[in-house]
Amino acid sequence: MIDAPPGHKAGFIAVVGRPNVGKSTLINRVVGQKVVAVSPKPQTTRNRVAGVRTTQSYQMIFLDTPGIHHAETLFNREMVKLARKTLAEVDFILWVIDASNPLSDEDQLVRGYLEDIKVPVVLALNKVDLVKPKQRLLPVIERCQKLVPSAEVVPISATEGVNLNLLEEVLLRYLPEAPPFFPPEQATDQPPHLVVAEIIREKVFELVHQEIPYAVAVRVDEMEERPGADLVDIQATIYVERDSQKGIIIGEGGRMLKRIGQQARQEIERVLGTRVYLGLWVKVHKAWRKNEDALRRFGYLLKSG
């Protein structure tokens, strides 16, 4: 740990909720930079990612988790398993609910997982900018309050920045006294190659439609600074499950892969603060989401215990 003045606060906050409620957008907004992948498509988050918000008096470590849902496949069960495991390893929980579509079956599933958790819960009612007329918001807040009667409910909009200062004030009340766990300049616990892989996967989600993005995994094969130049060379592979998906990712004349590469490179350069050469390859790993060895190699399979 790092030395800090008396009274300094620091702690870990699990950010949980069903898919596509805005957890990743909220963390990126609070941290002040892109640390986790964001997409309008549900289940974009696949790993537990820490976003670190540091000031002189406190450090909040937000653990973004995969959306909790009714999982049937091995891959989806592992994502939910990761989210549930996180609940037992934090100082308190930030449960994010979509105010424009609250209290779905999956919200009730999250509630069930929280019943036996002993740490405090703060409930962020997100996307309030989509609730119109505003009079509809009060009964939604009242219904959500009944989910966890002891929880404070804070209506917010992560995309518009509404009430994020208020949310931070509420979270600060639950933060324990402790020195910081990360240096002040560090915004995430993810190594650079994983951040790069997530940015590439995010661009696939943004540019490729239908169900194909869910069959995509990305691995960074090489990442090193070019000698004598302000440039980082990156070689990465996009894995899909079928030959037809490979063709769609590459696109006619390679145009789709070129678009993915261009947009990913621009985002990577902003995050790394340096020029980047990005080489992308597309390979088929048949039915990798059903293969334990593949899930382990891509970092999606939890260790037992």
pLDDT tens digits for 100-113? 888 888 888 788 87
Domain residue spans of the chain: 9-174, 192-297
Task: Determine the Cα angle at 36 with ends 33 and 41, to 5°.
Answer: 120
pLDDT < 50 stretches in the chain:
39-47, 69-70, 302-305
Element housing 125 (H / E): strand 121-126
Query: What topology does CATH give the domain 9-174?
Result: Rossmann fold (3.40.50)
What class is the 192-297 domain? alpha beta
Q: How far is CA 42 from CA 9, 161, 205, in A?
A: 33, 21, 10
Query: Which tens digits make up the pLDDT trace of 223-234?
Result: 999 998 889 999
Q: Read off the amino acid at residue 243.
A: D
pLDDT score recorded for residue 89: 79
Q: Tell me, what's the pLDDT at 65? A: 75
Q: Which amino acid is at 228?
A: G
Q: What angle is formed at CA 99 by the lines to CA 172 and CA 82, rounded to 5 degrees?
A: 65
Q: How far is CA 74 from CA 9, 292, 293, in A?
A: 38, 8, 12
Q: What are the tokens at 46? A: 């696949």
* Dihedrals phi, psi of 115, to nearest 5 degrees: -60, -35
The per-residue b/e assignment along 115-148, b for 16 or more CB within 10 angstroms, e otherwise, is eebebebbbbbbbbbebeeeeebeebbeebeebb
Going by C-alpha positions, the residue among 182, 164, 147, 155 that lies closest to residue 25 is 164
Q: What is the pLDDT of residue 43?
A: 43
Strands 58-64 and 49-54: antiparallel
Global pTM reads 0.73
- The contacts of residue 4 (CB under 8 Å, 6+ apart) are 10, 179, 180
